Structure 1
Amino acid sequence: MINFNGELLFEENVKLSPENRGFKYGDAIFETIKVSNNRVVFWEDHYFRLMSSMRMLRMKIPMKFTLEFLEQEILKTVAAQDSDTSFRVRLNVYRRDGGLYTPKTNKIHYFIDAKPNTYVTKDVYIVDVFKDFYNYSGLLSTIKTNNRMVNTLASIFAKENELDNCVLINENKGVVEVTNANIFILKGNVVKTPAYTEGCIKGIVRKKVIEIITKNEAYSIEETTISPFEIQKADEVFITNAIIGIQAVTNYKKKTFTTSFSDKISKSLRVLEVTTS
């Protein structure tokens, strides 16, 4: 079942117009959200990121789009599924039909799709750099818009080369993220992750991991510029998103990484998942 503007519909009954702006122009944003045991994980963070993105893209936020309203719409959608497992939920918001590049209205439609979360952390996880196209730096790249062509092409490249993921770089050859997650590297007692100015998504779990590391006096955290060469010199590398939590990277080019630090952070994150709204 799909939640289309508050109405639960079977997938085959959901009809989008040829004038849909998300389809024609990528004029849409989305949140990928984990729901576990009928609980929307890190919901407040997702909600405020969504509101910030809508404001940045000049979408008109409906009065009813409160924290409580959207949470209930998500849970209503999950309750309509034929499963009681953990869910991967996509909340999509797009500008209503009409106009060319200039829209006729800034009012929005939304739909919510829920699928069972089947991701299992891998013991061996291999990544390499995708060099064909850049993920350009700048604030617009930090928003989860429907325009994900670089991510799509990098994912195809990874599949063709028997990789689990690819590192995306920007026009300055700096590391941005991987195709579906933020990236962290550990060297000694210093943890680094690309700064927002590099063009990385404002990840919810990225934020939580930074909070966890900041509270650990044995390590320091830097949001900065990272070169692909630094990945190869790192002691550990891991990636983060709302669905996988933390996935340790074990192999990059000819380098093999340990995973003890990322394992510890993953345990701390699981505690936060059940104690933070």
Structure 2
Amino acid sequence: MINFNGTLTETPQFSAHNRGMLYGDAVFETIRYSGGKLFFWEDHYFRLMASMRILRMEIPMHFTLEDLQDELLKLIDAEGLKDKAASVRLTVIRNEGGKYLPEDNNVSYYAFAKALKDPFFTLNEEDYEVELYKDHYVNADLLSTLKTANKIIHVTGSIYAKENNYANCLLLNTNKSVVEALNGNLFLVKGNTIKTPPLEEGCLRGIVRKQLKDIIGKLEEYTLEEAAISPFELQKADELFITNAIAGIQPITKYRKKTYTNEVAKNILGKLNAKARLGK
């Protein structure tokens, strides 16, 4: 089932001139749902609005916080997922017309939902080995922080990871700093310092990244540092973990010859679930 501009349908009609397909001219949000609520919905909504403004898309009057939430909940109900856990993807596309220069800055949207196994974030403690992906680099600029439909580096990196039996890859920016994973933000733990790349490095403006910054900032035993991470730091770290809106926190167990613990990730995950339940 798809919610296509407010209409529930199993057969949405996408034109061959769809700008999302032609140019990646689209932005999206992927949201976890459980217990009757969309986790961190306000943060997702305001990131979406900010991304649309940066890309010079016209924001429709009906794109309010409440109305979009109602449309997503309507979709979840229609899929029979109201009392279950689900991931929801909402994609906003600039209307077709024009080539690189659009003829119309107005937008359309569609959303779909898929069931999830667990109602809240759980810690996957299975082996999770990563490697650097160095075929292509992330630009250290504002556009790289947006969740756009242009994710070809992440696609080719995912293929590379599969071909080489890695669970994930870490991406480098044009300054050769480690900026993020293929599917989320990166945090590094060394002693009492927890480090994550700043947005200026080109990492995604992650929703869970924002939540963890708030959580870690209130912990007396740790210091949060937003700073560039060099590849050399990875093998000196005590822990590495990846964050995103669906998995929450994914510990990395191995990078090259280095293995990692996950004690900090475990501790923070409980606090993240508490924030999700409270909706704050």
Q: TM-score, normalised by structure 2?
A: 0.96
Show the counterpart of 2:19: 21
CA root-mean-square deviation: 1.1
Show the counterpart of 1:170: 173
| Comparing 81-90 and 70-79, the one that deviates more | 81-90
Distance 1:49 1:80 in 2: 26
Pairing of 1:109-128 with structure 2 (within 5 A): 109-118=108-117, 121-128=124-131
Pairing of 1:94-113 with structure 2 (within 5 A): 94-113=93-112
1:276 matched to 2:275: no
1:232 matched to 2:235: yes
Structure 2: tracts of 5 or more residues without a match: none
Pairing of 1:2-17 with structure 2 (within 5 A): 2-10=2-10, 13-17=11-15
Shift of 1:122: 4.1
Show the counterpart of 2:221: 218
1:32 matched to 2:30: yes
Task: Render the CA deviation track for 1:102-155: whole Å, top value 9, x for unaligned.
Answer: 000100000011111247724221111001110111000000000000000110
Task: Render the CA deviation track for 1:176-229: whole Å, top value 9, x for unaligned.
Answer: 100000000000111110110111100000000011100011111111110111
Structure 1: tracts of 5 or more residues without a match: none
Distance 1:124 1:77 in 2: 35
* 1:176 partner SS: strand
Distance 2:279 2:164 in 1: 39
* 2:249 partner SS: strand
Task: Render the CA deviation track for 1:76-124: whole Å, top value 9, x for unaligned.
Answer: 0100114442111000001001000000010000001111124772422
Distance 2:125 2:160 in 1: 19
Aligned residue pairs, count: 275
Pairing of 1:172-187 with structure 2 (within 5 A): 172-187=175-190
Q: Please tell me the residue identity of whatever aligns with 2:61.
A: M
* 2:138 partner SS: coil
Runs of 4+ aligned residues of structure 1 deviating over 6 Å after TM superposition are: none
Show the counterpart of 1:156: 159
1:256 matched to 2:262: no
Distance 2:138 2:117 in 1: 28
Q: Please tell me the residue identity of whatever aligns with 2:22.
A: K
Give percent identity, aligned residues only.
Answer: 51
* 1:47 partner SS: helix
* 2:235 partner SS: helix
